[in-house]
Amino acid sequence: MRSVSTLLTLGGCLVAAGCSHAPANTTPNPTPPPANRPAPEAGPAERGPQAGDTAGPRGPGQRGQGGQAQAPRPYNRVVTAEAKTLDGLWSTHQIGNKLLFEIPRSVLDQDILVVPRVAKAPPNSVYGGQQVSGTQVVRWERRDHRIMLRGVSYDTYADPKLPIAQAVAQSNFGPVLGAFDVEAYGKDSSAVIDVTKLFTSPPPELSPGTRVYRGNPDQSRSFIDRVMAFPINVEIDALLTINPPPTPAAAAGRVGGFGAGGRTTTSLVMHWSMVKLPEKPMMPRLFDSRVGYFNTDMIDYGRLEHRAETRTFITRYRLEKKDPSAAMSEPIKPIVYYVDPATPKWLVPWVKKAITDWQPAFEAAGFKNAIIPMDAPNDPDWAPEDARYYVIRWLPSTTENAQGPHVSDPRSGEILEADIYIYHNVMNLAHDWYFTQVGHLDPRAQHTPMPDSLMGRLMEYVIAHEIGHTLGFQHNQKASSTYPVDSVRSATWVHKMGHTPTLMDYSRFNYTAQPEDHIALDDLIPGIGPYDKFATMWGYKPIPGASSPDAEKPTLDQWARMQDSIPWYRFNVAGSQGSDPGDQTEAVGDADAVRATGWGIQSLKATMPLVMGAASQSGENYDELSELYGRVVGQWATELRHVSNVVGGAQAQEKHVGQTGVRFQPLPRARQKEAVRFLNANAFATPTYFLDDEILNRIEVAGAVARINNAQSGVLNSLFNDRRMERMEEYEALAGSSRNVYPLSEMLADVRGGIWSELRSGRVAIDPYRRELQRSYLEAAGNKINPKPPELPAGIPAQFRRQLGPARATSDIQSLFRAELQTLDGQLRAAIPKAANRETRAHLEDARHQIDTILHPKG
């Protein structure tokens, strides 16, 4: 939900019926062999010695002299009676801490997708269940009496019929990730290999690396934890114990010193899914930046264009109509989501409802009964890790989050595997969001605990959002700004259209709504909207007669151009770099953030008197009151940052060649100036409605001043964002003599005038909250005049480093802030004689001292 997303992704931050999963009424089982399973016959002579071979025992992966493989041994001396055997894509044999794979000839040279995840993570690292490194396509290859695991890349491609195909193949030689002696041969010359170290000491391509730990696995404390085998996938868990790397002091032979006490052992459980890719790839659908799908890409050297062309495909399930000629048909294989047996029973109906909520979107694509909820079968051998099943997992975690990752075929974008992770404590986050945003409208939210009927509805919303990610959809933060701002307060509009066009926005609950609007309580919560139906249609609807991705492109382009006349079909604009004030998270009505935030502040003022009753249970401490109060203040700061994004903003719409108009249009001067006026009146004026002694004296001995200042400073620093100010400079330069521009110099003067407004009074009295804010202003200005290089983690791509870095040294930002402080210094000097009290006078004199230090740094 939160960035996750993403990534998520990124996830998410992410699964198609075409991966040959069984029909919904069947249950795959890991199948153990009979108790007295006979030893399979040895492989033929040309593949290994006969059963009379006398080769002695050897350790895992041990090789013969000169790099040659040791001779295989009889099967029953390798796969002993102690082996725990499972049959699946290939057979697995676990003997103590040793793991053997039995690779049949039918699996050799087949594409296998490996998905590494952390199953159990150390504190303060990643979430359990999270994918921590990229997926890897591999193949098992045989060379004499050895089996190699070779990486395969689909980053580059050329049609095998073209002359360049051979050159592409020679430039795409995959790395050997593991090489294993054949320990024995089984039936049909299946090769038994010891893969223990592949998982207890994984190569970088299959390891989480430094994202989770630094150091190397300790083989004496790392072991195979669990193995499962299914018809199209094999699942492995390994407990890895990591020795910390030596600190610089330890490496130099010194004792103590910085960091000496920070060397600790790390243990985690890694999980690998090894999934067979479909033998016949799904026909891909080309990605279009105007519609929000996750995607995969490759460079195609066989195109007619005079360049290497990147081909990008959307990720989606393989949905095929039973009746291709029917406008509405059931799919050959529906998308079936199973409900985790660990889900609280009272929530199961709401989880199923979240799944079926998506059905109208698939009907827009011409499919009925395309997405179906199912209970997990009552079978002890059923496992959610089976790649043929998509499971909404319920995890006992205090993490306030949920994730909807998916794994796709890099050849086609077909979604092959998806499990949704719902962390138990996301209910607490949904509870607090709902109260802070619409608690003043819903009596059910004004007492703790909220009724199950309300919490169930909130979880339906959360889970439906994550299901959207597993269907292939990215976040669409622009959606909420595509409705007219007045419409989000119209009961008839909201009932029909919702307050946002999509579940994939972070437009939680309708905080603009007021009691006099009489909006139905259920309509305060988002549901499937017009964008969801449009995007599902665009990505999933079959295009008759189109036998290739290129043949589909004209129809897809025609559909995407519907956005010109229907704004709520629009998606985030690629490359907007935060400039679009309509493309932001946690926003409602951001077509006009000033008006929407004004209504939101009215809602918060109405909510504040309800906080005590909503967070107080007899006999309990005040932790819940403290948390809920902090969430209300945080909501206030979030909404005000929406207004700051209007300044230096540009209206954006994603367009392709052939559509009229530009992609980016700077906002008019009046809108930007109005936003600064609003911030001076609402963000930088002390919000006294939060200063409730009945609450503050219960939750803390001190902290109100710092809390308000932190919120105000966040808004101020957002306004002083270097990229925002650089845009304002550029817009002024491009506008020439136009009066419809808001110069950076004028914006800085307007902000200074609002934050230091007391200096214009005949009697200057500044309260503690404003003094804190004014000191934060000086700190922010000082950072612009004397910038410090940001401390960024290694590995951040160059484009993101640019976004996070300081302003260009050649920009006007430094000189304009210097001029602002010089002007302010003169105003302070004139105001000191008018100080109404000792505190104000000391503050004004100190502010002058700080300005002098900033303008004339020593050393």
Long-range Cβ contact pairs of 33-41 (< 8 A, separation 24 or more): 33/85, 33/87, 37/85, 39/74, 39/75, 39/76, 39/79, 40/75, 40/186, 40/187, 40/190, 41/75, 41/186, 41/187
CB 338 within 8 A of CB 388: no
What is the gyration radius of the CA atoms in the chain, in angstroms? Answer: 31
Residue 657's H or E segment, with its range, is none
Calpha distance 568→571 (Å, rounded): 8
pLDDT of res. 6: 33
Q: How many CB atoms lie within 10 A of CB 743?
A: 16
pLDDT in tens, 766-791: 999 999 999 999 999 999 999 987 76
Query: What is the identity of the amino acid at 825?
Result: D
Query: What is the identity of the amino acid at 351?
Result: V
Per-residue confidence at 308, pLDDT binned at 50, 70, 90?
Answer: confident
pLDDT in tens, 490-547: 999 999 999 999 999 999 999 999 999 999 999 999 999 999 999 999 999 999 999 9
Long-range Cβ contact pairs of 777-780 (< 8 A, separation 24 or more): 777/716, 777/751, 777/752, 778/821, 778/847, 778/850, 778/851, 778/854, 780/713, 780/716, 780/717, 780/720
Sequence-separated (6 or more) residues with CB below 8 Å from residue 543: 551, 552, 555, 556
185: closest CA among 40, 38, 43, 37? 43
What global pTM score does this model have? 0.86
Is the pLDDT confidence value at 802 over 70? no
How far CA 43 is from CA of 76, 191, 208, in Å, comes to 13, 8, 37
SS3 content of the chain, % helix, strand, coil (to 5): 40, 20, 45
How far CA 168 is from CA of 298, 413, 670, in Å, comes to 12, 21, 56
The pair of structure tokens assigned to 19 is: 């991966």
The pair of structure tokens assigned to 530 is: 């017009």
Is the pLDDT confidence value at 124 over 80? no
pLDDT in tens, 361-391: 999 999 999 999 999 998 877 888 788 889 9
pLDDT of res. 30: 36
CB 77 within 8 A of CB 184: yes
Calpha distance 709→721 (Å, rounded): 18
Calpha distance 595→590 (Å, rounded): 9
Q: How many CB atoms lie within 10 A of CB 479?
A: 33
CB 511 within 8 A of CB 588: yes
Per-residue confidence at 263, pLDDT binned at 50, 70, 90?
Answer: low
Calpha distance 800→574 (Å, rounded): 14
Query: Are β-strands 233-243 and 216-217 bridged in parallel, bridged antiparallel, or unpaired?
Result: antiparallel
pLDDT of res. 266: 82
Query: What is the identity of the amino acid at 857?
Result: P
719: Cα separation from own chain's centroid:
26
Domains of the chain: 73-276 (no CATH), 335-562 (3.40.390), 720-859 (no CATH)
Sequence-separated (6 or more) residues with CB below 8 Å from residue 251: none
Is the pLDDT confidence value at 9 over 60? no
pLDDT in tens, 399-408: 899 999 898 9
Calpha distance 7→2 (Å, rounded): 9
Calpha distance 221→219 (Å, rounded): 5
